[in-house]
Structure 1
């Protein structure tokens, strides 16, 4: 990494004084000024510290979006945060993590994502951790989730049951990226599922299969 510094060289100035020795004012005429670029080599260690300092100094809404890959329980998990959304890459690493993890692990991952969201966006992510976990499960295990929800559909408010069934069908068609949004039209459905059903029971069912 190079940081450019500018040094002003060969700066010449002529001061013209009035004949009156009591004069207190001089007139500056600049004849020439040449700008020369200089460079300073920065070590990799210094570069790392410099980048970390920039991250720590981010102000609220300093970035519109931020994508990162974090190491979690031995897996590289890639996701993006933008205002109102956390978008998780549903790749092989992520699916393997889900398969090897408990519901508590996934809740811990969701909480960590929310912390990163707050640090870079400047405000809290307004989706409960439990709701996030249930939405993740719906994308990673769409068939199992659909069956689980169907078996427990009577526990949900009658007014949203048809919407829940439709959502389960849609999820099976779009699972590459898990888009968790504060204002998603499905948000109320996931919130109700998370509130009424026991999320940990669902993962227990998956673990036993």
Structure 2
């Protein structure tokens, strides 16, 4: 998942009430960065992962067509969330985040365009997206040493990498088995992303409290 840089007190415009940070020059960049750095945006992204996982586990006997549509919608909507969140990052880190967003959107379009593809193809698409995204997220979390609650972000990255490896490595011989596997990983990843969203909210509140005049800060 894409997580903005750690909040820090700085000169200039104040953040928005929901935790959005000041953005780079340009009206569109500024609006996207404010939205993408909001903890509620991360919460929405987590819900986008969690809800399809619950639906898939709740109805495991549905056809491959339904499974492909659910996975395609998950990839497409998550790609949109990641695209906006990418603008909350520094310019040097924005390109990898945008590439991940494009990867999600392309994979989602592929699943929706060809919903009757084989189980192996659906597993390959989903596993590859999770693996690449997990690796890029882990790299970003390691590089951003000031990122608050890096453990949550690294946990989400590791979970994505493991999910991608498991889906790609294990042969799936039935729609039922694939449904349970993908649904389980979506729920797990969604829960970790929920933890990241709430950790980001706590970090933003702490940063705002520390920036108030007369508020004592830790040494």
Q: TM-score, normalised by structure 2?
A: 0.29
Structure with the largest fraction of helix: 2
Give the number of the structure whose residues are more often strand, by fraction: 1
Higher relative contact order (CA 8 A, sep 6+): 2
Rg: which structure is higher?
Answer: 1
**TM-score, length basis structure 1:** 0.30
